[in-house]
Structure 1
Amino acid sequence: MLGTLYLIPNTLGQNDTSQGNVLAHIIPETVQAMSAQLHYFVAENAKTTRAYLKTLALHHPLAKTIQELQITELNVNTPEAALKDLLSPLLAGHDVGLISEAGVPAVADPGANLVRLAHQHKITVRPLVGPSSLLLALMGSGLNGQSFAFNGYLPTDAAQRAKRIKELEDRSRKEKQTQILIETPYRNAAMLEALAAHCQAHTLICIATDLSLASESIQTKTAGEWKKLLQANMTPDFHKKPTVFLFLS
């Protein structure tokens, strides 16, 4: 009998563990309990996964000690040839949890390749409920939730980035489609400046920061309004904070 691949959601940032069960309003109790039963994990980062499991263990005893759990890494540097080895526990009949660095696995996450391979081997895949920064941002933006596209990271080269923004804005205008982007947190200011500079003045831009955390902020304004705020040095408090960018022309 084959094992089941559970897709385990993670929090979207650090939480104060002194304030009781900090996972309670983010990760459903049933998902916490299921995650605590597993012996095998595939993680984007083993160190941060151990930290998450330690938080989980405060309210749901783990099946084994942190040291005894088998945590194998799967990230952007993992060669495709190594994926089959990650299936070994599943093929041997053990359940495995695939856990992301933040949010849900296999969405804007290298775990999708393992999920696809699991399907090819007829392994049952069970996605568990948890926070997705992309969907939370879309929900809170007020932009079109009927048609949207996630575009990942834009080019870091200024000229190429400007060209890409204009291409996406043209698509947004023609298809009435919300465009969703992410950026490395220390480049948040540069991304907002680029969007404000290269989008038409009426285009709506949403900046969603620290979603699900106490410092959460979601602001939707036109490109023209953002441009004026930037000129007045009134930027959002998003330096080095996980942020999702959305716009709709």
Structure 2
Amino acid sequence: MNNPFAYSGKLYLLPTTLGDNDPMEVLPASVQQKVQRLEIFIAENEKTARRAIKKLVPEKSQPSLKFFLLNKHTDPAEIPSFLNACKEGEDIGLLSEAGCPGVADPGAEVVKIAHRERIQVVPMVGPSSILLAMMASGMNGQNFAFNGYLPIDKAARKSEIRNLEKLSVEKNQAQSFIETPYRNNKMLEDLIQILNPSTRICVACDLTLGTEFISTRTASEWAKTKMDLHKRPTIFIIQKDY
């Protein structure tokens, strides 16, 4: 079989921790070994990327490391050049700020370009808050959707929550989404007020951390529960049964 890839350099998708815990508690040794070998990285923030590398491989020398920054300030026209090293036979690591690259993460754009350029993409195993929450929710793991952030506008948000609840019934599909951490409490309040009392809501926060909390209850049950989610990274999942 002919090699389907045009270049020998590979793009490695490197997961990071979901919080400030020991990376070896949630990352396999293969990620550590790969980071030890790589010298070129694509990341959202150089400072946090260097910190993640330092925690994972404390003995790794950092002065010679090269970083390409991929965030809201990046000129889209520059992104293809980030992969030039792969075309010269060098491997590159794509680091997420938290969790897995390319999933609710700007790294997806780099991965898209890598496929277009016939550069081999190698995903490494690590924690995904979306998948971990889904696993622990007790909802339909055979059919689910991640919807990112819901609208900020009050009317638009109410409409979207009702629409997701409707989809959960019509498609028997669990609906997951996130909120800016400082608005988490308001999100839970909105869900309790807008959803049918029997609709299940999973709240999964601080995943993989010592303060991890995951609970699935009906909207009516959550209405009787006091929960502080302020500034705690949280995944919400809803599903209304038939």
Matches within 5 A, 1:1-249: 1-15=7-21, 22-58=22-58, 61-62=59-60, 65-229=61-225, 234-235=226-227, 237-249=228-240
Which segments of 5 or more consecutive residues in structure 1 lack a partner in the other structure? Answer: 16-21
SS of equivalent to 1:151: strand
- Counterpart of 1:18 in structure 2 is none
For 2:164 and 2:72, the matched residues in 1 are separated by 25
> Please, what TM-score do these two structures have when normalized by structure 2?
0.94
- Counterpart of 2:4 in structure 1 is none
Shift in Å at residue 225 of structure 1?
A: 1.2
For 1:197 and 1:158, the matched residues in 2 are separated by 13
Shift in Å at residue 24 of structure 1?
A: 2.0
The alignment of Structure 1 onto Structure 2 pairs a total of residues equal to 234
For 1:193 and 1:247, the matched residues in 2 are separated by 14
The aligned amino acid for 1:33 is: Q
For 2:133 and 2:45, the matched residues in 1 are separated by 24
User: Is 2:199–2:238's contact at 8 Å kept on the other side of the alignment?
Assistant: yes
Segment drifting more, 76-85 vs 206-215: 76-85
| Greater than 6 Å deviation, 4+ residue runs | none
For 1:242 and 1:44, the matched residues in 2 are separated by 18
The aligned amino acid for 1:40 is: I
Which segments of 5 or more consecutive residues in structure 2 lack a partner in the other structure? Answer: 1-6
SS of equivalent to 1:180: strand
For 1:221 and 1:127, the matched residues in 2 are separated by 34
